[in-house]
Structure 1
């Protein structure tokens, strides 16, 4: 469907000039040629675009403009597909527009001579339709159809890129899996290669993707598309959202990797597993750039995504979920990436190292090797405290030689502090389980990669959850969690992964492989923690904490057991309970 020039002109609205984009200086700044950004203004239009099944999706188009008018030359297009509303009025009545902020460098891309298009996914915002699932193939092919529609418009060169983070990173990644011919490059933040291993990591759902669905009032705060003056189309669209599949029940309702969803009628984890589609992306020649931050749970998935698509680039910065890395020229890196792939700019990107990542306590590293691939495992064993027998919390030790045989037992503590509703990172949990602490380090220890916890356990229940936290404790006793992970005892079976895990254990999660642990029987459980990149200073200590619950489990009230399970960790000779740390020389 081609919008005519007359209709586009009728729909056009000129927005106030964009202020200059702020560029933090970072490691790539000296590699970036100064970029001329002549477009001080932007022209916005919006309309409904039907996709292959006729569903009308709300699309907002932002074209660079100068005080003299909109740019008439054909330009590359950057496309964003969002569930969070492209344009809406917030609680204070202020209009918010994703394309006019720089969290994803969209404002800078408009200034740099790109058309930016932001569409609401079906079932959200101002779009019609209802969601069958989340990042399912319907949504992926909606992205495909919109990419090709944008490529055909009069303002487009026919080359399209996509960018997004978190859910938007997922819509970007999944659209790429449908290989639209006009899609040339994607920049994917905080998304997953293996949704089961992420959302239901170790068989346990936690913070991500488990919040309640928003009421209709949220979508009704969207701005109607141009021409929908009385918002009648907006109201009609939002009425269709009542048929959306609910998010948390979808994920909670599939305990096994091969579970059939009552909402979608199929093995939905397999449908949304991106590792099934990476060969298609690679064969299509779509350039891929993955981004995460170290204090963010999906970052290990971003690293694995880069590892499983030849030639992928990777950026990992300090900070939390989808926050542009401080001290890094993020907008410059994004613009340079798309300039190279959509404009053919010879700007040095092709010669730049593949990976750029932050090491806490050291600084930025640029390397052709992905973080963790050059690390060697250093094993730290769980040992007893001063008495050498069963210890209370905080009284065990971590040491590099196995101790004599012993055991430590705790009862799961469900009386946990209330977590922030969007707590993207864990807090120290040593008061709620068992902990083993090292002596002060004699020399700094550089850790880059995914630690792996290897425990011998038994329990007084056929199933229980095991959470592990690696803490860095300074000389004053202040602790911070630098990595964490989880595993249900029933999901302990490991298997050969269908993708490269960079050496991390892979749990099959198949119904046939999920089995209770006989009460009192010992079992070995191995699981990876979140990826980290940290120099632990001399004089600091390492601490491993094990609990049976975490405050970020949103369904903790429903799954708690009464009385709480009692879990025993067996250590020393014959048990091998330990943690393997990824050490960089």
Structure 2
């Protein structure tokens, strides 16, 4: 659907709003019902529907619907004995949307919560079509105008995207955060699993803590549903079992990475005319994927400070979501159409910062600032000039594990590899965009895992990781990406492109690193760290080799080992 046609349809919608209360009407109360809804193969999924209400009772006029599709139990009894309800939380503005005159529906995916069925893989096409069927079921209810939006972050962002990839006719707009554009590059970035998707699966007892649907008065249907969850595909086993992008999973029987790659369905989303808004935060690994997805779908984009699915500070996040859906689902003329497409947090001194609005992705047009690896022995240096030829070696240290269950962002690993420090900066610099590491190395094995980290070390000596990347040395061949990769190098991950190292011979690795927005004040130092293991590798015990691999990094003009930094010559203004 063209932008012109979409705007025309919104204008027509605006002429038919007599039955749709404007968001200025506040609904402080709600009425909830929960029930099982069968999808196309007959599997019954638990759906919780919340309808706005005020002192006069439940709103009887049809309203737009906001749908959330979750594996984390729509309603469950918490450890304190209190009922936790996803729809009544406001991290994704759901409670505010309910108050603003939207029906909010939250459903458990098959194989989780109170829903029946077993999960095949992880965000597969079955789950995507389940989302499609529930969108259309919600659109057909008497309380619905027929216009549906979806919102979600992390896994919920993934269900939002996968549902959109099936182009439900009634799905008008989505707001999705911290999700992936390409599942392989997300879970096995650089060919290496080192990310929270490999955590253990939740025990069935978690799902048994779900609140049964209204008709299930004795909980027997819940128990029967949860019994089917025992057949769920193990998530970590699925990802570990597919080392290459073209691997065939023993658990699903197909090249599963292709099935769950959102980029494969980009044309479907575009042609359906579904409005898209992507959101991420700088200290969160999915954000680089979020930026790429937004650019390839010509989507709105918000990048805030903070960690995984954390509400961006100093920003009216709830108001942004409500205004977005008001525009797309109610046709409210609230100026949203004239708002710049991209909003991102620009870092300043200390904890300060400000939001920049514009139409280009963060870092578009940034200058390139190269810092070269150098030094003698264990004293590594990082400088604008390459310096003399040399090298340094280290044995991979596998003793890097920590106690963090969800290590969304790594802590400094300076004690576990090679460290290269710059001199204190003579003046401030501002980094915005995607760094790239170029590492010339040799190893005593045919393959090694390589992790690189960019840190800022303040004048007091405190180090903080601001970007990182990883690459299995055998997957170092650079290929052409099947999408606009925003100028970053791309490694296919396919078995046909794999090339083992020749032990003792040098090879060049180009490692794309995660996007960053960082003000680095004068007096601070830049630090580049190289390791052979990372705490977020949950299978370190299986990866450990004895003796440990020895990796040698070469530097100097001929070797060209360096990190290219995206430099903003002057800090961006408001």
TM over 0.5: yes
Whether contact under 8 Å (2:401, 2:534) holds in the other structure is no
User: 445, 452, 455: which is aligned to 2:429?
Assistant: 445
In 2, distance between residues paired with 1:478 and 1:359? 21
Aligned to 2:182: 194
How far did residue 552 of structure 1 move? 1.3
Aligned to 1:435: 419
1:126 aligns with 2:114: yes
The DSSP-based 3-state class of the residue aligned with 2:270 is helix
How far did residue 36 of structure 1 move? 2.4
1:51 aligns with 2:35: no
Q: Which moved more, 1:360-369 or 1:68-77?
A: 360-369
How far did residue 417 of structure 1 move? 4.6
In 1, distance between residues paired with 2:497 and 2:556? 28
1:415 aligns with 2:399: yes
The DSSP-based 3-state class of the residue aligned with 2:64 is strand
Aligned to 1:139: 127
Aligned to 2:15: none
Q: Which moved more, 1:82-91 or 1:506-515?
A: 506-515
The DSSP-based 3-state class of the residue aligned with 2:198 is coil
The DSSP-based 3-state class of the residue aligned with 1:277 is helix
Whether contact under 8 Å (1:419, 1:552) holds in the other structure is no
In 2, distance between residues paired with 1:37 and 1:237? 39
How far did residue 396 of structure 1 move? 1.1
How far did residue 373 of structure 1 move? 1.3
1:377 aligns with 2:368: yes
Aligned to 2:68: 80
Aligned to 1:503: 487
Aligned to 2:355: 364
Q: CA RMSD in A?
A: 1.0
In 2, distance between residues paired with 1:126 and 1:407? 58
Aligned to 2:81: 93
In 1, distance between residues paired with 2:499 and 2:544? 19
1:554-565 paired onto structure 2 within 5 Å: 554-565=538-549
User: 456, 463, 468: which is aligned to 2:440?
Assistant: 456
Aligned to 1:156: 144
TM-score normalised by the chain length of structure 1: 0.92
Whether contact under 8 Å (1:79, 1:163) holds in the other structure is yes
In 2, distance between residues paired with 1:214 and 1:58? 19
In 2, distance between residues paired with 1:248 and 1:415? 21
User: 521, 542, 545: which is aligned to 1:537?
Assistant: 521
* Runs of 5+ unmatched residues, structure 1: 1-33
In 2, distance between residues paired with 1:303 and 1:401? 31
In 2, distance between residues paired with 1:189 and 1:417? 28
In 2, distance between residues paired with 1:102 and 1:133? 30
Whether contact under 8 Å (1:473, 1:540) holds in the other structure is yes
Whether contact under 8 Å (1:419, 1:551) holds in the other structure is no
The DSSP-based 3-state class of the residue aligned with 1:226 is coil
TM-score normalised by the chain length of structure 2: 0.94
In 1, distance between residues paired with 2:172 and 2:151? 12
How many aligned residue pairs are there? 544
User: 449, 473, 476: which is aligned to 2:457?
Assistant: 473
Whether contact under 8 Å (2:23, 2:101) holds in the other structure is no
Runs of 4+ in 1 over 3 A off after TM superposition: none
Aligned to 1:340: 327
In 1, distance between residues paired with 2:43 and 2:363? 44
Whether contact under 8 Å (1:504, 1:527) holds in the other structure is no
